[in-house]
Amino acid sequence: MRTDGLVFANRAMMAALQKEQALEQVRNVATLPGIVGPSLAMPDIHWGYGFPIGGVAAFDADEGIVSPGGVGYDINCGVRLLRSNLQAQELRPCLQQLADALFRNVPSGVGSHRRDLRLTLAQERKVLQQGARWAVAQGMGNELDLQHIEDGGCLAGADPDLLSERALERGRDQLGTLGSGNHFLEIQMVDEIREPRLADVLGLFPGQVTVTIHTGSRGLGYQVCDDYLRIMLRAAARYGISLPDRQLCCAPLNSPEGRQYLAAMACAANFAFANRQLITAWVRESFEQVLHQSAAAMGLSVIYDVCHNIAKYEQHVVAGVPRRLCVHRKGATRAFPPGHPDVPACYRAIGQPVLIPGDMGRYSYVLVGTAAGFEETFGSTCHGAGRLLSRHAAKKLASGRRIEEELAARGIVLRAAGRGTVAEEISEAYKDVTEVVEVVQQAGIGRIVARLRPLAVIKG
Amino acid sequence: MLGIERLLPEGIRGESMNFQQKARHIPCANCGQHTKKGGRAAFRLLEHTADMGIEAVAPTCDELFVQAAKALLSILAGQGRAFGDVQERTIEVTAGDMEELLVVWLNELLFMIQARGLWPLDMAVVRIHAGALEMRLRVVPLAANPEREIKAVTYHHLLVTHRHGQWRARVYLDL
C-alpha cells in the first residue's frame, strides 16, 4: 500500500463491511501509482468490482494514473433534481395519471426508446461533444438548465473519434432512456427542511413537489469502459504497473492511453448529461399533459445535476501545496464548498447542491458541500444509500409479498417495467439513507438541507 | 412494452419463451462427450452485494466456456419472445490469456443478445486456445428484450484454472 485507507462509517456499517470485500478494495486502490492522500470510501461504501462503490481516489497529474475501472461502466451515472411551484396535495388527485404519463413518455426498462428520437451518426457525434447543450439546442430545455448542471452539462475534451463503432451503435438507440436496475424517475415531496436559509437559496419549501432523475450513459458508457479496460490491461503491463485486481488496470495520466481514455470518457459523460436533459424535457411534457399548465408556470426547473461515476482534473491543496489532481469518484458525488468557482453563482454562497437518493420506499436528501469536505475528501461525499442485501437475498425477502400494494399503503405509486427489478430494489435491500447522510453530516463532509419523500416511482 | 417495437414487425406475436429455462437447456455439441470420464459440467451463481458472479466447472476447456455462457444467459431473466428464422453465427474473439478470453467471449455474447437482439439456441466450440476462441452458434431473433440488463462482464476477481483434470472459472458481472 502506498497510502492509508480512510472509510467514513458508523460502527454498525463497519461491522457489515467486514463481511464483504469492500475494505479489501479500498486497500487495493491504495496500491495504485501516484495516489495522493488516502484511498477514501464514503459511508454508502459496498463491494464493487475493482474500486469499491463509494470510493474516491485522487492521483497526481504527472505521476498518477487513470483507471476506467475507477469510473465504472455506467460513466456519469448521476442524479438530477427538479423543483416546482406545486404543493404535494395539489398533485394527489392526479398522481396515478401523472405516473402513467411519465411511464409512457420516458422510456424505461431494457430496450425501450422513444419512436420520435432517431439519431444519425452525425447527430450522435454532436451529442458526445456537446452533452446537455445539444439537447437544449434542439429545444429540449433552456439556458438556465445548463447553468445548474455539474460542468454546465458538458465535459471538455470529448473526442468521438476515440469511440468504437460498437459504442456508437449501442448509444444511438439509447439516448433518452432511463434503463433498468437501480435507475429511476421519482416524483417526491419536500418532507422536512433542516436548514431553512439554505433551502430558500435552493428554492425548496415544505410540501413542495420535486422530481429526481437517476440514470447514466447507458450502453454507450458500458462499451467505452469495456473497450478501454482491454486497452489498459496492455498498457498497465507496458508501463510496469502491478495490479492486485485486473479490474484496476490503468495507464499513466500523461500517457497516450490515459489521455485517450479521458477523451472517450468525456464523450460518454456528455451522452449521460444529454440523456438526463432529454428526460427532463419529457418530465415537463408529462406534467403539462396531466396538469394542463405550462412547465414554466409550474416552475419546473433544474436545481442541480451531479455525476457520481467520473474522473476529472481538479485543483486541490494538499499539505499546504496547490496541486492538480485527477479525482476518481466511483459511486461518490462531488461536493464543492461555498465560494468555489465551479459552484454555480446562484449557489456559491451556500456550496454545491448534493443530491442523495435513497431507496424507493423511504427518503432522499439534498445536501450542500462544505469546506471541511473539500480538505478531507477532495470535495466528495456519498452518492446514495448503498446496497445492503444481494439481489438474491432481496428477492427472497420480497417473495410472496405485494410490494406495489405495500408502497401504495404508504402513499407511493409505483410503475415498473419489470417485476423482478422491483423485488430486487425493495427498501430493505438498501441501507437507511438517513443513517448514511447523518454520518456525512457528523463527519462534516456535507450539510443536510432537506429531506424528500417519494410520491410516485418509475422503475425500469 | 416499448422494447417489442424495435424488433417485431406489425402483427407478429412471436413464440413465448422463458429465458431462464432456455438458458439451462442449451444443447452444446461439445458438452457431455467427456462425462464418461467422470467429469462434471455445471454452473452456479455467486452472491455479491450489488451485482452477481458466476462460477462454472467442466472437464474440458470447451465445456467451461459453454457453461459460463449458460450461467450468463440464466441471469437475463424474464419472459422473452422469439420470432423469425434460426440463423447461424460465428463469434471469434482473441485475448492475452485464458482469463481475459473468457471475459471477452461473454461480453461478445452479451452484445449479440442485448444490442443485436439475437438469442442463442445452441453453441459449439470450433477451436479454442490460450489466445483465441471460435464459437459457432444457432440464434433466433428476439421479439422482446430480456427483463434484466447486464451492463458488462468484469475482470474483478477473475479466475480460470485447470487443476486435477478439472476446469474452473469465476467471473463477476456488473448489473
Average pLDDT over residues B81-96: 91
DSSP assignment string, A206-232: TTEEEEEEEE--HHHHHHHHHHHHHHH
So which residues of A are the catalytic ones?
383
How many CB atoms are closer than 10 A to CB A2?
12
Write down the pTM of the prediction: 0.94
Contact residues, chain B, for A48 at CB < 8 Å: 50-51, 156
Per the CB < 8 Å rule, is B147 touching A115?
A: no
| pLDDT higher than 80, residue B89 | yes
Q: For residue A280, which phi and psi values (nearest 5 degrees)?
A: -55, -45
d(Cα B101, Cα B125) in Å, to the nearest integer? 13
Contact residues, chain A, for B104 at CB < 8 Å: 230
Calculate how close chain A gets to B39, using CA atoms only, in Å. 29
Calculate how close chain A gets to B95, using CA atoms only, in Å. 9
Label residue B129 by pLDDT band (50, 70, 90): confident
Helix (H) or strand (E) holding A381, with range, is strand A380-381
DSSP assignment string, B106-153: HHHHHHHHHTT-EEEEEEEEEEEETTEEEEEEEEEEEEE--SSPP-EE
Strand locations in chain B, DSSP E? 15-18, 42-47, 52-58, 79-82, 87-94, 118-129, 132-144, 152-153, 159-163, 166-174
At B15 the pLDDT is 56
Per the CB < 8 Å rule, is B156 touching A246?
A: yes
| pLDDT higher than 60, residue B29 | no
Contact residues, chain A, for B144 at CB < 8 Å: 111
At B33 the pLDDT is 44
Helix (H) or strand (E) holding A264, with range, is helix A256-291
- What residues pair up with A60 in beta bridges, in sequence order? A325
At A396 the pLDDT is 93
Q: Return residues 116-145 of B near A (CB < 8 Å).
A: 117, 144-145
User: Which of B8, B45, B100, B151 to substitute to test the interface with A, most A CBs within 10 Å?
Assistant: B151
Residue among A20, A222, A419 minimizing CB distance to B151: A222
d(Cα A101, Cα A104) in Å, to the nearest integer? 5
Per the CB < 8 Å rule, is A112 touching B2?
A: yes
Would you give the DSSP letter of residue B9? P
Environment class of A331 (CB within 10 Å of its CB; exposed 0-12, middle 13-18, buried 19+) = buried
pLDDT tens per residue across all 460 residues of chain A:
899 999 999 999 999 898 889 999 999 999 999 999 999 999 999 999 999 999 999 999 999 999 999 999 999 999 999 999 999 999 999 999 999 999 999 998 877 888 788 899 999 999 999 999 999 999 999 999 999 999 999 999 999 999 999 999 999 989 999 998 899 999 999 999 999 999 999 999 999 999 999 999 999 999 999 999 999 999 999 999 999 999 999 999 999 999 999 999 999 999 999 999 999 999 999 999 999 999 999 999 999 999 999 999 999 999 999 999 999 999 999 999 999 999 999 999 999 999 999 999 999 999 999 999 999 999 999 999 988 898 889 999 999 999 999 999 999 999 998 777 899 999 999 999 999 999 999 999 999 999 999 999 999 8
| pLDDT higher than 50, residue B14 | no
Do A457 and A403 form a contact (C-beta atoms < 8 A)? no
Contact residues, chain B, for A226 at CB < 8 Å: 107, 152
Residue among A48, A110, A179 minimizing CB distance to B146: A110
User: Which of B149, B150, B170 to substitute to test the interface with A, most A CBs within 10 Å?
Assistant: B149
Contacts of the segment B118-122: beta carbons below 8 A, 24+ positions apart: B118/B87, B118/B89, B118/B142, B119/B19, B119/B22, B119/B80, B119/B82, B120/B26, B120/B69, B120/B73, B121/B22, B121/B26, B121/B86, B122/B26, B122/B27, B122/B28, B122/B29
Residue among A109, A170, A245 minimizing CB distance to B156: A245
Count each helix (H run) and each strand (E run) in chain A, helices first.
16, 17
Do A56 and A378 form a contact (C-beta atoms < 8 A)? yes
At B9 the pLDDT is 35
Residue among B100, B148, B156 minimizing CB distance to A420: B148
Strand locations in A88-128, DSSP E? none
Report the first-to-last Cα separation within chain B, whole angstroms: 21
